[in-house]
Amino acid sequence: MVGLMEQAGLVVENVVARTFEAADSIGPDVIDYLEPLAHYLGVGSDQLAQRAMPLQYVLQARKPLHAT
């Protein structure tokens, strides 16, 4: 996503991961189920949750300032 913004000539200033109420209620169960996979891949369960739980990412970007 960041790469696409940069290809469009934008500078990404911030990325925010968003989860929603439905994901919050079932997400921990999914993370528990996937925990053996995380260990196999060498990823901590906290890192897995950070990457797997968000349903949407909000990117804040701007056009770069050009010196004149």
pLDDT tens digits in sequence order for the chain, 68 residues long: 889 999 999 999 999 988 777 656 777 788 788 888 888 989 887 888 777 777 788 999 999 887 54
Task: Say if 28 falls within a structural domain.
Answer: yes
- Pairwise CA distance, residues 43 & 27, whole Å: 17
The whole-model pTM stands at 0.55
Containing domain of residue 8, as a range? 2-62
Burial track 11-34 (b if 16+ CB lie within 10 A, e otherwise): eeeeeeeeeeeebeeebeeebeeb
Structural domains counted in the chain: 1
